[in-house]
Amino acid sequence: MPEDDKLSFSAKDAALELSDEKLRPRTLDSFIGQSEIKEQMRLFLDAAKKRKKPADHVLLSGPPGLGKTTLAFIVSEEMQVPLRITSGPAVQHPGDLASILSSLEEGEVLFIDEIHRLPKVAEEMLYIAMEDFRVDVMVGKGPGATSIPLSLPHFTVIGATTREGMLPSPLRTRFGLSLRLDYYRPEDLKELVRRSAEILSIPITDDACMELALRSRGTPRIANRLLKRVGDWVTVENAKKAGKEDVKKALDIYQVDPSGLDRLDVALLSALENQFGGGPVGLKNLAAVLGESSETIESVSEPYLIREGFMVRTRKGRVITQKGRDHLGSDRRDLFSS
């Protein structure tokens, strides 16, 4: 890539990042929906504040875009402590983790994104650090190398994962609080769209917020992204206020499915039905046909399709449901009628 392309790309990324940061709620009160999780988190944070001690370690799991990173920011904000961010894939060697751990300050929050992807040795180092607040630092090389235990200040680990099942149980059990985020209800997403529209100064009616919410796959990140595209429509069409019909027209241009399914969801349903006669089919075969990793299919597409009743998972494999078939059928009717 030529140097200036790289530059303009990163400038675009930075602009996107900026508007995303504007939309990220900073306090638990402004975090929309997920009422049980909010209640548990509120009690947990209030107790830690009252004790004047660092909060216990927290594990956040759930599909992408539901608010795991946002909650980690909220914990650091509410506890008024700094937040250090790393991720499983960023820790290549246990030494990388050792140096992060040994530089933490009392009370600091260490956010480890994609924690299920930490290398095994780093994982073991983390158990000890989380439980005993100690890290063993290797000094020297070869046969003369010795490990020196270094004690650490008390800190809080917040782990985020889209694959809770992949976390080994010794690591999972070291988290004092484990919260599982689920897809948002349309009413909650409607409120989220309303809040974001206000922040971004996009004029939009209540009906239109609901229409957007219904097409957002239960996911705040998608709702915010679609809202921005509706914002483009308002600008270009010189609309005073985006109504339900404007949302429909704008999102049709972007081929957003009326049920909120994305391209991979539809491709998965279509492969299930057309290539595998509706199933049952194993994950690996499905992944091969779609050219996607099994992990993406299992952590991104399937949870939503199963929850919404478009497909089921049986012991023999994945099977499409009547609702899934109807959905493919209605898509085809759209194609034929246009």
**Alpha carbon 20 to chain centroid distance?**
14
Check if the beta carbon of residue 230 is closer than 8 Å to that of residue 242. Answer: yes
**Alpha carbon 44 to chain centroid distance?**
22
Helices 3-23 and 186-200: crossing angle in degrees, nearest 10, is 120
Is 162 considered catalytic here? Answer: yes
- Please state, in angstroms and rounded to a whole number, the distance separating the CA atoms of residues 247 and 221: 17
- Out of 192, 209, 213, 287, name the contact with ligand ATP by CB under 6 A: 192
Which of ligand ATP, Mg ion, none sits in contact with 218, Cβ below 5 to 8 A by type? none
What string marks each residue from 162 to 191 as x (binds ligand ATP by CB under 6 A) or -? x-----------------------------
| 255 phi-psi bin (left φ>0, alpha ψ -120 to 50, beta other) | left
Residue 23 interacts with ligand ATP (CB under 6 A): yes or no: yes
In the DSSP assignment, the letter for residue 161 is E
Residue nearest to ligand ATP (CB): 67
CB of 141 to ligand ATP, least distance (A): 37
Mark out the alpha helices in 177-219 (DSSP H runs). Answer: 186-200, 206-214
Sign, Cα dihedral of 283, 288, 293, 296: negative
Is 29 considered catalytic here? Answer: no
Is 68 considered catalytic here? Answer: yes
Which one of 70, 156, 161, 162 is the catalytic residue? 162
Q: State which amino acid sits at residue 327.
A: H
Of 60 and 281, the one with the shorter C-beta distance to ligand ATP is 60
Of 69 and 259, the one with the shorter C-beta distance to Mg ion is 69
Of 65 and 94, the one with the shorter C-beta distance to ligand ATP is 65
Of 20 and 131, the one with the shorter C-beta distance to ligand ATP is 20
CB of 175 to ligand ATP, least distance (A): 16
- Out of 48, 59, 65, 265, name the contact with ligand ATP by CB under 6 A: 65
Is 241 considered catalytic here? Answer: no
Give residues with Cβ within 8 angstroms of 25, minimum separation 6. Answer: 31, 32, 70, 74
Q: State which amino acid sits at residue 170.
A: P
- Out of 69, 178, 294, 296, name the contact with Mg ion by CB under 5 A: 69
Collapsing DSSP to helix, strand or coil, 20 comes out as helix
- Out of 54, 67, 107, 324, name the contact with ligand ATP by CB under 6 A: 67
Catalytic residue list: 68-69, 113, 162, 221
Residues making contact with ligand ATP (CB under 6 A): 20, 23-25, 31-34, 64-70, 160, 162, 192, 220-221, 224
